[in-house]
Amino acid sequence: MSLTRDDVLTVLKTVTDPVTETDIMAAGLVKALTVSDTQDVRFVIEVPPSQAQLYADVQTAAEAAVKAMAGVGTVSVVLTAHSTPAAPPDLKPQKSAPTGPQKIPGIDRIVAIASGKGGVGKSTVAANIACALAAEGRRVGLLDADVYGPSQPRMLGVSGRPASPDGKTILPMRNFGVTMMSIGLMTNDDQAVVWRGPMLMGALQQMMNQVQWGALDVLIVDLPPGTGDVQMTLAQKAQVDGAIVVSTPQDVALMDARKGIDMFNQLGTPILGMIENMSTHICSKCGHEEHVFGHGGVASEAAKLNVPLLAEIPLHLDIRMAADGGAPIVVSKPDSPQAEAFRAVARALIADGKA
Ligand SMILES: Nc1ncnc2c1ncn2[C@@H]1O[C@H](COP(=O)(O)OP(=O)(O)OP(=O)(O)O)[C@@H](O)[C@H]1O
């Protein structure tokens, strides 16, 4: 009696496929099976390339099963591992993945502190608001993105180089309940930072995405003064919930603040409000009040631009000394009227759901 193809197929159904745990016929592994006039049997076992090593025994078992059949001639079994051909590329226009501002995982909100002009006290405001928010029980991060004059390490009394145990992520520093990272911790104290746009953007993105911020209610970003690459990159890459613009009441500072507000409007970043810093000076000896940089300029500008005036912070020696001494006034003299001005801003931000 001569051997038929169906006889061989029936025998192959007794060989188990180790991956699907059915038989190799049901799994569709047997291909190109032929039985010649001289009863020689040939077939191919085609297996997935990633699991080829699992099938060496299957080849042996299949060959042995067929060889045991009565009347069979030679048996040739070839094991191949073909990958399924890739589908041809879809040339239809695709909807690309969104590349706009993204949320940073773990960070609920981002608030930028900006100024048009340098030296108006933006970093002082950022440090005090961050510490005041932490004192109110919020989980706060402070990213010092003032790449040209990073002053947060000094203001928050933080020094040393941040650790990077895995060489990929950076562990932030922490003081006064604030988790902080500054480009100033990556450069030498007296080293001027001379960076071009793409480097600035890279550094900012690294500080946003590679620092292990943990879970934060709000990340305060201390921006460099002006309207440059860092501001653009922040607004384009991260979902910024709002910006606070700090200015002194002087005309020159106000003019630059106006440009800053215009930039945020163009970038679609909501303006949470303006802060007038160095608003009035009260002499610590005689109590005489004088307006060193004028007074009320920011209030009228805010009214003109239809943005809230969040605070008028006095020019006071204690604020400067606290900032230079590494413990912002809301930490070193929390009950002073100067600290209260910052604490009121923090409470208002929390009440508005902004921090
Ligand atoms: N309300 C204030 N009273 C007294 N001193 C202040 C006050 N605000 C800021 N200062 C002091 O003014 C100096 C400049 O402040 P700060 O560094 O915060 O400004 P900035 O706007 O961040 O400057 P830049 O962006 O150019 O680095 C600091 O010595 C700071 O202590």
Look at residue 172 in the predicted model and tell me its pLDDT.
94
Residue 93 has pLDDT above 60, yes or no: no
pLDDT at 47: 83
- Distance from the alpha carbon of residue 307 to the mean position of ligand 1, in angstroms: 23
- Please check the confidence at residue 103 and state whether its pLDDT lies above 70: yes
Q: Are 197 and 229 in contact (CB under 8 A)?
A: yes
Q: What is the pLDDT of residues 70-83, one digit of tens each?
A: 999 999 888 887 65
Selection from 333, 179, 349, 353 nearest residue 275 by Cα: 349
Which of 117, 122, 124 best tests ligand 1's pocket when mutated (most atoms within 8 Å of CB)? 124
Which percentage of the chain shows pLDDT scores above 70?
Answer: 92
pLDDT at 211: 93
pLDDT of 188-198, one tens digit each? 666 556 666 67
Residue 173: partners with Cβ closer than 8 Å, 6 or more residues away: 153, 156, 158, 160, 162, 179, 180, 181, 185
pLDDT in tens, 197-251: 677 778 888 889 899 999 999 999 999 998 888 888 898 889 999 999 999 988 7
The whole-number pLDDT of residue 200 equals 74
Question: What is the band of 287 on the pLDDT scale with cuts at 50, 70, 90?
Answer: confident
Range scoring the smallest mean pLDDT among 92-106, 109-123, 285-299, 313-327 = 92-106
Q: What does the alpha-carbon distance between residue 59 and residue 45 come to, in Å, rounded to a whole number?
A: 7
Mutate to test the pocket of ligand 1, among 291, 320, 330, 336 (most ligand atoms within 8 A of CB): 320
Mean pLDDT value of segment 40-61 = 85
Nearest CA to 230 among 108, 76, 115, 97? Answer: 115
CA angle 16, 48, 10 (to 5 degrees): 30
3 state DSSP class of 244: strand
The domains of the chain, with CATH numbers, are 5-80 (3.30.300.130), 110-351 (3.40.50.300)
Is residue 96's pLDDT more than 60? Answer: no
Residues above pLDDT 90, as percent of the chain: 52
Contacts of 232 (CB under 8 A, 6+ apart): 267
How large is the average pLDDT for residues 126-134? Answer: 98
Query: What is the spatial distance between Cα 239 and Cα 235, in angstroms, rounded to a whole number?
Result: 7
Residue 147 labelled as part of a binding site: no
Choice from 117, 123, 148 to test ligand 1 binding pocket (greatest atom count within 8 A of CB): 123
Answer yes or no: is pLDDT of 85 > 60: no
Q: How confident is the model at residue 352 (pLDDT cuts 50, 70, 90)?
A: very high
pLDDT of residue 95: 54
Residue 2 assigned as binding residue: no
What pLDDT shows up at residue 9?
Answer: 92
Task: Give the global pTM.
Answer: 0.72
Q: Each residue of 36-57: b (16+ CB within 10 Å) or e?
A: eeebebebbbbbeeeeeeebee
Question: Which ipTM did the prediction report?
Answer: 0.97
Tell me which residues have their CB closer than 6 angstroms to ligand 1.
115, 118-124, 146, 149, 151, 225, 277-278, 313, 315-316, 319-320, 323-324
User: For 42-51, 109-118, 176-185, 305-314, which range has the lowest pLDDT when averaged over its residues?
Assistant: 42-51
Q: Is 182 annotated as a binding residue?
A: no
For residue 330, pLDDT beyond 80: yes
